Amino acid sequence: MLVVRSLDPALASLLPGLAGLVAETGSALSHLAVLARECRVPTAVGVPGAVDRFPDGTSLTLDGGTGEVTVGDTLGAAPELASIREESAA
């Protein structure tokens, strides 16, 4: 999972190896978000404070359809729900 402040097109080469992409700013229609969908990488944009809230090593589950980011593994014990939704239309 990659958590970034903004959707930089230079990150496109990383997409094929990602389990998910979370960005603090950007649009679901940005170039990188479109490329992520083509690579079937779940993506959430408009997640305030994501870099600070989800530091390196934080286990996240991401629903690319709703933009919901959950701290922890939803397959395991009850996770702490962050309940973050995309601010822009998916």
**Active-site residue set:** 31
d(CA 7, CA 80): 26
State which H helix or E strand residue 52 sits in. helix 50-53
Task: State the Cα angle at 46 between 45 and 49, rounded to 5°.
Answer: 115
d(CA 74, CA 87): 23
